Chains A and B, each alone.
Chain A
Amino acid sequence: MKFKRGSSSELVLKNIFVSLGDQLILDDVNLVVKKGELVSLLGPSGCGKTTMLKTISGLLQPDRGDIFMDDVNVTQETSCKRGAVIVFQDLRLFPNMTVEENVAYPLKLQGIDGKKRRDKVQKLLENVQLDGYEKRSIYEISGGQVQRVALARAVAANPNILLLDEPFSSLDGNLREDMRELLLNLHRTFDITTVLVTHDQQEALMMSDRIAVMGNGQIIQYDSPAVIYNQPANKEVADYFGGGNYITGRVKQGVFRSEQLTFPVAKADGLYQALFRPSALKPISGANYSVQYVRYLGESWQIEVERLGSRLLLSLPSDYYLKPGDLLDIEFDLEKVVMIA
């Protein structure tokens, strides 16, 4: 079966190894993205996210492993035939073309001409709220508008897979919100299988059907946002979503025991770390803990308390009033505990 570009497809990566120079960048990556799904690749910089996008699109050849789109092996297919379109972090609009021509370019490559092309460009520009900017040079539009053009151009290419490489990282807060909304709308409208690279956990949690957390060239955990947040596979993943207070202890016959607290838990015997996020701790009256510092974050206070050398981080609504030196006790919300083996 010959592979055809032009419709949203399922993406499968099987045992992908990629090295650049002597360095192994992707180390046995396996990933399945279902048709029409929006998946985020989350991880620190340098963990191989961009390399993965380039490999999927065909700009880089894997040393080993196979890439399938809709069950067709496309590993040997050139990037221009694969239909995996990247929106790069630096957006890369063509400087020798106007806004309209940039969006029209992939259509021209598909052999769509004349009125049909014009209408399609018009429609795409409306989709990204840029009608009226057709004839502008790319130097005459703002940063946010450049992103919209890049998105519209990518959608115009009729991609099987849309790959987004931190496309919003250069925008300020409000504009980021708008662009996320716009992307979700586009995703809904065109139902394109999408892989979004980001290092912003909030963005990943709020936008994706599934999140793949990467580290050191491998996928550490791949699951829905709720599962990733509530049942992180290890400390690295948990840390990526804010971390919090780790209490080391041992589970024996259904009971977790540690210096600070003891509670029943349905886990197999062994050594565990109980993660309490800052919002899972509540102050109650008492004198076991002393407040170390208090930071005002607008919506909330960030407070650190200390007892016998062990420190805990709390996040409290801003109507609490505590100051360094105050004494209190801590209630652990056992509903919110995250057990990490």
Chain B
Amino acid sequence: MNRGKKIVLKMFVYFSVLSVLIPIMVIAIWSVSGRWAWPQLFPDSFSLRGINELFGGYSGAVQVLGSSIAISLIVALLAVIIGVMTARALVFYDFRGKSLVSFGVILPIIIPSTVFAMGIHVLFIKMGLSDTVLGVIIVHLICSLPYAIKIITDMTAVIGKKLEEQASVLGATPGQILKDITIPCLLPGLISSASLAYIISFGQYFITLIIGGGSVKTFSMLMVPYLQSGDRTVASAYSMVFICSTLIIFIVLEKTANKFNKNGNGGFFA
């Protein structure tokens, strides 16, 4: 029985891993294939068209990748900062309309982004934020904050104020408490929130298109037309860069964070 259970469990693990790896492998092969017609098991010919398109210079994909990563990192950082502040307000303070605020922060998940994008667009045009990087960062933030706030609020509630009280009576100023106690203790939650905010921002297409108006280019905006036009070679090449860059960012996030928290309880991604 026990043995049978183990085999089932193992099969489940292998199945899960393969169901992620096989599609990625297919994308990897597609990105360098010239012609791959059904029902061939392997491509008929290989081509560097996708790679050239990406790194050849005329598409500007590399620069866009850079600025896109920058935008998403800023969104991740802001989401974490606002998340920590909101979480502390929601957990440690009692104020009028607290339940309204805690419901309000998850509204962007409930309302479809296409709906609120229209409204925000009108507002941003009036404020002069439309077609600007700042505007794009703000809408990305609106989409990613609910997740960041939820994760950090739950962690803050679990950790509580006890360790901060202890540090305070030992002589730590509020600044020192934040640096030495609060942030290290929240770190796993901060990494999760930052990663989530990053991927939400990085993968955002429609909202970026509306608010950025085409003048703010992100990597998704270059990639989606290829996906839609059915040029699988180039689309796959873009997808590979998308996946790899995100993975690298996650690993870097995790490593940097763990540098500040050497007794951390193991990594999330690396």
Residues of A within 8 A of B (CB): 5, 57-59, 78-86, 88, 90, 92, 94-98, 105-106, 109-110, 137, 153-154, 157
Chain B residues in 8 Å Cβ range of A96: 181, 184-185, 187, 261, 263-264
**Do B167 and A85 touch across chains, with their CB atoms under 8 A apart?**
no
Interface centre among A83, A96, A97, A109 (most CB of B within 10 A): A96
Chain B residues in 8 Å Cβ range of A57: 169
Chain A residues in 8 Å Cβ range of B167: 94, 105
What is the distance, in angstroms, from A286's C-beta to the closest C-beta of chain B? 60
Chain B window 59-93, contacts with chain A (Cβ cutoff 8 Å), 1 for yes, 0 for no? 00000000000000000000000000000000000
Chain B window 242-268, contacts with chain A (Cβ cutoff 8 Å), 1 for yes, 0 for no? 000000000000000000010110000
Given contacts A90-B162, A98-B263, A137-B263, contact A153 B170 (CB under 8 A): yes
Chain B residues bordering chain A, tally (CB within 8 A): 21
Chain A residues in 8 Å Cβ range of B47: none
Is B172 an interface residue, CB under 8 A from the partner?
A: yes
**A84–B162 CA distance with the chains assembled, in angstroms:** 16
Given contacts A95-B263, A96-B261, contact A80 B168 (CB under 8 A): yes
**Do A85 and B170 touch across chains, with their CB atoms under 8 A apart?**
yes
What is the distance, in angstroms, from A133's C-beta to the closest C-beta of chain B? 15
Identify whether the interface residues of B are mostly helix, strand, loop, or mixed: helix
Chain A residues in 8 Å Cβ range of B176: 109
Chain A residues in 8 Å Cβ range of B264: 96
**Do A109 and B185 touch across chains, with their CB atoms under 8 A apart?**
no
Chain B residues in 8 Å Cβ range of A105: 167, 170, 172, 180
Given contacts A92-B162, A96-B184, contact A79 B168 (CB under 8 A): yes
Chain B residue with minimal CB distance to A156? Answer: B170
Chain B residues in 8 Å Cβ range of A97: 263
Chain B residue with minimal CB distance to A101? Answer: B263
**A97–B264 CA distance with the chains assembled, in angstroms:** 9
Given contacts A88-B162, A90-B162, A96-B263, contact A59 B169 (CB under 8 A): yes
A85-B169, A95-B263, A96-B261 known; 17 new pairs, CB 8 Å cut-off, are A59-B169, A78-B168, A79-B168, A79-B169, A80-B169, A80-B170, A81-B171, A82-B169, A84-B169, A86-B165, A86-B169, A90-B162, A92-B165, A92-B166, A96-B264, A137-B263, A154-B170
Chain A residues in 8 Å Cβ range of B184: 96
**Do A94 and B171 touch across chains, with their CB atoms under 8 A apart?**
no
- Of A88, A109, A137, which is within 8 A of B171 by CB? A109
**A106–B181 CA distance with the chains assembled, in angstroms:** 13
- Of A82, A84, A109, which is within 8 A of B172 by CB? A109
Chain A residue with minimal CB distance to B166? Answer: A92
- Of B168, B172, B174, which is within 8 A of A59 by CB? B168
Chain B window 155-196, contacts with chain A (Cβ cutoff 8 Å), 1 for yes, 0 for no? 000000011011111111110100011001101000000000
Chain A residue with minimal CB distance to B183? Answer: A96
**A297–B79 CA distance with the chains assembled, in angstroms:** 64
What is the distance, in angstroms, from A256's C-beta to the closest C-beta of chain B? 50
